[in-house]
Structure 1
Amino acid sequence: MTLPYDRKSQLEAFDRLLTIMDELREKCPWDKKQTIESLRHLTIEETFELSDAILDNDLDEIKNELGDILLHIVFYARIGSEKKAFDMASVINQLNEKLIRRHPHIYGETQAEDEETVKQNWEKIKLQEKGNESVLGGVPRSLPALIKAMRIQEKARGVGFDWEEKHQVWAKVEEEMAEFKEVFDAEGDTHPDKEKATAEFGDLLFSLINYARFIDINPEEALEKTNRKFIHRFQYLENAARNSGKTLSEMSLAEMDVFWEEAKKH
């Protein structure tokens, strides 16, 4: 079913949400107690729940989680208005102006015929706006390391610092793998220098993320899909062992491998 694009009904729904938020803030004991700080961890949780729904391609759940995040945005804006710092209108107006400013190829005279040029313009304008001395200054410190590595690389690319050909990136992966193997002898008995091995492993991961980005694979999504696949197969293995009257700790690796191969077919 295709929903009709009805601006009037959308504005009415948003106005109703603002009214409900006002009523909850004034009358509900829980909502009255909340602060920007107390909502923070809940917002993070809701964002991860939206991420799960997207990975599951569950459109109904995506709709539900988008509603929860919208509630948080409205909640923050209500608290901001109480502090006389900002309100929903100022939040939206600031966003509108930023979107216009960062799309000069739509609202100005700049030419941008492809996605890459748009990204480069965006990063340059963002750098000017924020007054950062470094193009990497806008990367949040608390981002998970894998996502942070991807964003660092994307921002560097936005100002032209990137590889030209994918074979160059793969050569870097192989170079980092060789350097890691040099400090971590997988076949030998000697213990590696953990600090050096950690550093080289980090370099290897960074280069793999770079290659994934270069060939248009999102490494975070790829790893999460593998996580989910492993969980599904491992839980199949657990159930199969239970049905055979054993626990995993009572089984040999060879026995477990039989069920693991079965799991790949389900």
Structure 2
Amino acid sequence: MADAADGAGLASALVELHELTRRLRLDCPWDREQTARTIVAHTVEEAYEVADAALAGDSEKLLDELGDLLFQTYFLALLLEERGEGDLEAVARGIHAKLVRRHPHVFGEAEANTAGRVRERWEAIKTEQEGRSGVFHDVPEALPGLLLARKVQRRAASVGFDWPDVAGPLAKIHEEISEVEEELARIGRPAPETEADPRLFAEIGDLLFTVVNLARVVNVDPELALRVTTGRFVARVEGAEYLAAAAGLVWSELDLDAQEAWYERSKADLGSTDAG
């Protein structure tokens, strides 16, 4: 009975949100003006805010941000309904059917005892049951660059085009760094705010792509890893600026050696558990 009560509460909450979405679409001037093209930027922003909350381990913020993202789903589904091209029920039933179809090891007789085997089965099901063709079918080009690279690499790996071990991408990174160094030796450091040298541009791209490949092979999400590192850098620089100000100094007026010294103090104050 407890499960039934919980289910009733969930159903009620979801229906109430559906009704609220409809009300806003009718009565709010801003919501009335929105289209899929105008609202999707907010959807992407909310997804990143969910990621930030999850990475921070902030459960209260995660609850809040998940609500914002859920509303985006409701709103976009309502836009589909207005065009007669689907609705929230179709969205829910569609993902339910897809998840059942892609988990035959849970809902059928297939076997998949590891996460890697599950991913292999997913790719096979997409080809065999969903009519998708080509190695890179349905890869959204609007993905951030790091995630786009990882997704493309995963697709290539799904058909066997992959490094046999970690040594491969590591060696490739060293090779790409050498090529970047060769280009920098040729052109020197370019002036700020000028167009990048085409060959250096290409070599930097190759290096980044290879670093993403290493991250993929060792099960590191490159987008999340970079976001965490960026956040750590921001915290350390802000800490260094604060420490310098407390000593009566202006951070922006310090030379590089002094800034580095305050940065190291900030790093120590924030703790040595973080990498880098």
TM over 0.5: yes
Matched, 1:100 2:100: yes
Is the alpha carbon distance of 1:189 and 1:121 closer, same or farther for their aligned partners in structure 2, counting shifts above 3 Å?
closer
Map of 2:184 onto structure 1: 184
- Residue 218 of structure 2 corresponds to 215
Which structure 1 residue ranges, 5 or more long, are not aligned?
A: none
Is it true that 1:31 corresponds to 2:31 in the alignment?
yes
**Structure 1: distance between partners of 2:129 and 2:204:** 36
Question: Residues 243 and 266 of structure 2 are in contact (CA less than 8 Å); yes or no, is this contact kept in structure 1?
Answer: no
The number of equivalent residue pairs is 262
Partner of 1:235: 238
3-state SS in 2 of match to 1:138: coil
What is the TM-score when the length of structure 1 is the normalising length?
0.88
1:247 deviates by 2.2
2:170 maps to 1:155:
no
CA contact (8 A) 2:81 2:87 kept: yes
Tell me the distance in 2 between the aligned counterparts of 1:90 and 1:262. 56
Q: Quick one: percent identity of the two aligned structures?
A: 35
Distance 2:179 2:237 in 1: 33
Q: What is the RMSD computed on CA atoms of the aligned residues? A: 2.4
Query: Hey, which bits of structure 1, 4+ residues long, moved more than 4 A?
Result: 128-132, 188-193
**1:81 is the counterpart of 2:81:** yes
TM normalised by structure 2 equals 0.85
Provide the rounded CA distance (Å) in 2 between the counterparts of 1:71 and 1:221. Answer: 24
Q: Which amino acid aligns with 1:248?
A: W
1:10-62: CA deviation from partner (whole Å, max 9, x where unpaired) = 11111111122222223333323322222111112211211221221111111
Match of 1:16 in 2: 16
Report matched runs for 1:129-148 at 5 Å.
Answer: 131-148=131-148
- Check whether the contact 1:180–1:200 (CA below 8 A) recurs between aligned residues: yes
**Aligned amino acid, residue 72 of structure 1:** Q
The aligned counterpart of 2:274 is none
> 1:153 & 1:5 partners in 2: Cα distance?
45
Partner SS for 2:157? helix
My pick for the range that moved more, 223-232 or 104-113, is: 104-113
- 1:250-261 correspondence runs (5 A): 250-261=253-264
Unaligned runs of 5+ in 2: 191-195, 270-276
